[in-house]
Structure 1
Amino acid sequence: MGIERPFWRAIAVFRVASLLYAAVLLAQHRGYAEPLTGWLVIGVMGLWTAAAIFAYSVEALRRWPLLVLDLLVAVACLLASPYVEGARPPGEGTMPVPATWIAGPVLAWAVHGGRRLGTVAAAVVAAADLWLRVSGPDAPVLINGAVLLFMTGAVVGHVARLAKQAEERMQRAVEMEAAQRERDRLARDVHDSVLQVLALVQRRGQELGGEAAELGRLAGQQESALRALFIRPEPPPTGVVDLRPLLMRYGSEQVTISTPATPLVLPGPVAEEMAAAVGAALDNVRAHCGPAARAWVFAESGDGTVTVSVRDEGPGIAAGRLAEAAAAGRLGVSQSIRGRIEGLGGHVLITGVPGEGTEIELTVPA
């Protein structure tokens, strides 16, 4: 992954810097007891540093054989320290010949496999280091190096894993955004052509009646189905719901659902209540106009609001009828519809003309 490249570059810099540090220490101690062997170990470290920097720069080579070989080379150079340093004075602790260079494989394992593998590599190197210190004559056993190795493996591994997860999420977000842009583009093109033609056929068919009315009904069904294809499948942010899928579930041969190509975003509870109010309005259509009555649901957004209108082809509502129904205890409109919407801070507009159908307009703040 691209996010790993800075980690591998940083490890390469660390390998070179720690190699120079080991060479300076060896020169400072005049090669210890065996200068030739000491410089031979430094040479092996230098060759492996160059090889490891190249190998880790190639993603295809970052596999278990390279990781295991890297760790074995570091442990071998570490175990060669007693042969270079010779006998140490009693009570004196000496830095091993590779010095901090042995942390390179630990960093590589941590970046490749996270904190668990980083800790495993640290345990191997720390065990070899502690074995050298314990086996020395009267040498103090220092665990500072082992502790630092474990901390390095765990912390770097954890940070590398978090970086990889962040990159994966970013990649998914970019892909989803690109897909949504393409979906929105197609939706605009279809809306400007096919959907408008289908809507026109639906309206003209209802006006002409007869066989044209059936053609209009089929056009309305296809319009609703085509709009549903462009509804964003990705879930909206937490606590927010797209109203369109909730409305689409009411679509049928008798009920035509028309929604915009872009999401109608509302808080979850508001969207559920809005959809329930639309369902109650459609129940009224079936109850008062018959199960075969046609109904149309239109949804749109604008000026910080979301509006859904439910229109039917029934007998309409006579003046005072709603008040009489409420007085008689029939609270379908006043409670199931108006009560829901007004409880959300919205308002309901009911327009009905006897013989020309009824339209219920529900508006809530977005």
Structure 2
Amino acid sequence: MAVRMSVEQPLWRALLAYRLLTAAYAVALYVHAYGHLRHPLPGGVYMALLAGWTLATIGRVRNAERCTRAFLAADLTVAVGGILLTRYVDTMERVESGAFTLPSIWTAGAVLAFAVKGGWRWAAAASSLVAAADLVERGSPSRDTLHNVILVWVASIAIGYVVEVARASERTLARALQIEAATRERERLARDIHDGVLQVLAMVQRRGNQAGGEAAELGRLAGEQEAALRTLISAAPPAPRPGAPGDGGPAAPDGPQDLRTLLAPHASPLVTLSAPGTPVLLAPHAAAELAAAVGAALDNVHQHAGERAHAWILVEDEPEAVLVTVRDDGPGIAEGRIVAAADEGRLGVAQSIRGRLRDLGGTAELLSVPGQGTEVELRLPRGPGEYRAPGAAESGAALTDADGRGRT
């Protein structure tokens, strides 16, 4: 089960520890000054109430949901009541000399609860009530009293402001993560659609136009649907679904996958596959996506270079990366055509190839010279502890493509 991110949760834990420690400290101060108090018995009753209240409300200061307004009001009442009761319990000499109040520094915990729960405005209101109680208890404001009042007031407001900023940052980050997840999902769907439906619609349109007659009308309709679908998958991402599981794709098989096995079906009289003699092992998802990017590159060869164009797939298993090169003998790509295609919603290169490699942490480079064919280089870095076939790094076997140019 996913745990909700919360930047304020450490503050609640710190507040809980502060309340427990300061309650024990207040009780210790009372015991130490017991013989000097004018009416120690009422003070003892209050200290018992303070200790019991602190222990009984441990669950209330674990998070913002449990820390209700009613609890905050009661908590502040305990603090202010203890401050005002001090004037009756203690002697006037000790009060005027700046002796501790009954709740002592435990009072700051009640104010900080307001700050963490409601921000700096709540903190300002609570600290102002505590300041008023301190001034009434002292009778006349002294330098030490004013110093303590201002310290609590400034500290609580500062913490409340920090909490508000942290909450706003948390919301912004959560929204950014949702947008990123939705964008990646849209790109994945766009790649799948491009690899399947759009390719079929484009083929139907092309074959229908070539056949003429009623088939031409069918081709026209297929072309309209292709254009509409490209516009749809190029639009802004949909709103993310809260708690949506994963990417919705099929479950990947367990264990490493041999990239050669996934690329083997592409081999044909017009497509030459050159690969190492040892398995090229990758994580299942990475192998599937890399093979899909190769398939998208071959689809572009068939569509733009012609059905009789030749293509060569070269797989290289390097120590730090897997490199796959797809080259054809077609007419090449005109300058600026890839950018224009992306603007038109044709995402074969932008998403099906580059998008896949980018999601895997790799790169896709395209080199095309008009009249001299096109070369797509897919590079997927290996992470620490990545799968490696025994002897793959040491094999050094030379690979030769259809033109006889050796590559090691």
The Cα shift of 1:302 comes to: 5.9
TM-score of the pair, normalised by structure 2: 0.56
Distance in 1 (alpha carbons) for counterparts of 2:341 and 2:50: 64
Distance in 1 (alpha carbons) for counterparts of 2:146 and 2:89: 22
Distance in 1 (alpha carbons) for counterparts of 2:95 and 2:21: 31
Count of residue pairs the alignment pairs up: 257
Preserved contact between residue 204 and residue 216 of structure 1 (Cα < 8 Å): yes
- How do 1:183-262 and structure 2 match up within 5 A? 183-231=186-234, 233=236, 247-248=343-344, 258-260=346-348, 262=351
Q: Gapped runs of 5+ residues in structure 2? A: 239-338, 355-362, 372-408
In structure 2, the residue matched to 1:167 is 170
- How do 1:102-117 and structure 2 match up within 5 A? 102-117=107-122
- What do residues 27-68 of structure 1 show as CA deviations (whole Å, max 9, x unaligned)? 222252222222221111111212332123265432221221
The answer to whether 1:20 aligns with 2:61 is no
Preserved contact between residue 206 and residue 212 of structure 1 (Cα < 8 Å): yes
The answer to whether 1:4 aligns with 2:39 is no
In structure 2, the residue matched to 1:123 is 128
TM-score of the pair, normalised by structure 1: 0.61
The Cα shift of 1:140 comes to: 6.3
Preserved contact between residue 118 and residue 154 of structure 1 (Cα < 8 Å): yes
The Cα shift of 1:205 comes to: 2.1
DSSP 3-state at the match of 2:101: coil
Distance in 2 (alpha carbons) for counterparts of 1:90 and 1:60: 38
- Whichever residue aligns with residue 206 of structure 1, its letter is N
User: Sequence identity, in percent?
Assistant: 39
Greater share of helix residues, 1 or 2? 1
In structure 1, the residue matched to 2:97 is 92
- Whichever residue aligns with residue 7 of structure 1, its letter is L
Higher relative contact order (CA 8 A, sep 6+): 2
Cα–Cα, structure 1 residues 119 and 50, in superposed 2: closer, same or farther, change >3 Å?
Answer: same
Q: Select the residue among 133, 148, 155 that pairs with 2:151.
A: 148
Preserved contact between residue 244 and residue 264 of structure 1 (Cα < 8 Å): no
Cα–Cα, structure 1 residues 42 and 64, in superposed 2: closer, same or farther, change >3 Å?
Answer: same
- Whichever residue aligns with residue 166 of structure 1, its letter is S
- How do 1:280-359 and structure 2 match up within 5 A? 303=365
The Cα shift of 1:109 comes to: 0.8
Cα–Cα, structure 1 residues 49 and 173, in superposed 2: closer, same or farther, change >3 Å?
Answer: same
- What do residues 103-161 of structure 1 show as CA deviations (whole Å, max 9, x unaligned)? 1121111111111111111111111111211259xx76720111111112111111111
Q: Gapped runs of 5+ residues in structure 1? A: 236-242, 249-256, 266-300, 308-346, 352-366
In structure 2, the residue matched to 1:39 is 44
The Cα shift of 1:163 comes to: 1.8
The Cα shift of 1:165 comes to: 1.7
Preserved contact between residue 205 and residue 220 of structure 2 (Cα < 8 Å): yes
CA-based RMSD of the aligned residues comes to 3.3
DSSP 3-state at the match of 2:7: helix
The Cα shift of 1:13 comes to: 0.7
